[in-house]
Amino acid sequence: MSDTTFYYIIGGLFAILAVLLFNSYKEKRYRDEVRRQFGHSDQDALLDSKREEVRDGQGVLNGGMMYHQHAQHSEAETVVATETATDFNTASRDEAAPVPDTDVVAAVVTPVMTAAPVFEIHEELTAPVAETAAVAEPAPKSIKDLAVPGIKNVLSAAAKNEGVLLLDLQDLTRMELPWFDNRVDYMAYVSLREPRELHTMPRLSNRHHFRVVGCTMDGRFQLAEPIPSVYYQGFVMGLQCISRKGLAVREDLTQFAEQVRQFAAQMGGGVAVANADAFMQVAEPMDELCVRVDQTIAIHLVSRESVTGREIKAALENLKFELDAGIFWYRDVHGKNLFNAVNLDSTPFIAAALDEQAYRGFSMLYDLTKVPAGEKTFNQFMDLVVKLSSNLGLDLVDDQLNELSTQWLKDIRSYVVERQDEMLSVDIEPGSDLAERLFS
């Protein structure tokens, strides 16, 4: 072999080695850059800033699943419900965990979660407390049928017997109103001795959502509002004790009960308040179930170089996503939000900057508590993910930059269905008004 040939061979080997090293260097830069945007494995890279719909605490990304779990006892801002009669406003203990085995089904004691509450009834505000078990009876469900039987005749009876409560407190405790669920809401009832206007909304909690429903002069129930010339005969009040803020503590219930009693005294009425011990026996297992099912699937679509905001916007809008408050939302035919796409680095998508800015990619989120139950909805979500990946040339990865396998997707589909079935077993319909309240 001549020296020239030898040098050619050596030069060729060096060239091949240089190409391999360069590709390795580019791959490392790509991974380091994306990891920088994703953050550490113990951080919520997508939602690092706090959001109302996520329980206080750090979200954890693990295998593409982001856990939005209930906080134990976190501080929260005062929230007062001010809905109208037809407006149902929606009033995480975060820890790292692997994707649970799909064959694990946590036990839920349904009889405990549907036990009848006990009420402390004060017909005279200075009278001793008498505890009476409320017996579950059929009750009207629709708003138009929520008139109390015989309520239109009670005023004439009250006129003949001054000081008698306009509404029977025992009857009130048996009412099933669509604004409340006695497994979630700590209930109190106020019956007046004479019709009264509501001049100001009572302040009944500084940590948790509450609702006040009033019974008007025609015997109809509606969300109470301080409107002149609208007179009420009584009120039903509920403190929402389960949400992403965490389960309320006994002190919250005690404070709520005391504030309701003060309100009743100011209005000149009698009051019935649910027994705190009986309520907590129901609420605690309900909250434990909420912790188990409160999870969001996160699938990340990442570019090996970059993708322009213009391309992202066009691809998402082509699939009917809409940009709102820095997030792209996918809504159903009724306008209800189903899925959303968020920026990888947790910053909002700014409409004015999308055309000029480059991104590493984005993440698709699937909150299993907020979308209709079943494989059909998850398949719809995955169909959108695959289309976006194909149209934009993006890789589907988890937070460790591992490519998502077909088996992983099958396992996640099964897991989602099982967790939603667990919700359905206790009459929590994913995406329903109750689910919106529990997971807000």
Of 17-26, 54-63, 158-167, 194-203, the poorest mean pLDDT is in 54-63
* Beta carbons within 10 angstroms of residue 212's beta carbon: 25
pLDDT band at 177 (very low <50, low <70, confident <90, very high): very high
The pLDDT of residue 201 is above 50: yes
Tens of pLDDT, residue by residue over 100-143, are 343 322 333 333 355 445 666 555 443 333 333 333 333 333 33
Query: Whole-model pTM?
Result: 0.68
Cα-flanking dihedrals φ and ψ of residue 15, to 5°?
-65, -45
Distances (CA, A) of 346 to 332, 361, 363, 388: 25, 12, 10, 19
What is the rounded average pLDDT of the residues 196-217?
Answer: 93
Whole-angstrom Cα distance, residue 202 to residue 224? Answer: 10
Nearest CA among 242, 236, 212 for reference residue 428: 242
Q: What's 357's DSSP letter?
A: -
What is the rounded average pLDDT of the residues 193-199?
Answer: 94
Tens of pLDDT, residue by residue over 235-283, are 999 999 999 999 999 999 999 999 999 999 999 999 999 999 999 999 9
Q: For each of the domains in the chain, give its residue range(s) and CATH number, in order of start.
A: 110-290 (no CATH), 294-438 (3.30.1400.10)
Instruction: Report pLDDT for 63.
Output: 45
Tens of pLDDT, residue by residue over 27-86, are 555 555 544 444 433 333 333 333 334 454 333 334 455 545 455 433 333 333 333 332
Q: Residues 80, 210: contact at Cβ < 8 Å? A: yes
The pLDDT of residue 299 is above 80: yes
Tens of pLDDT, residue by residue over 317-360, are 999 999 999 999 999 988 899 999 999 888 999 998 898 899 99
In the block, tokens 């948790």 appear at 208
Instruction: Report pLDDT for 300.
Output: 95
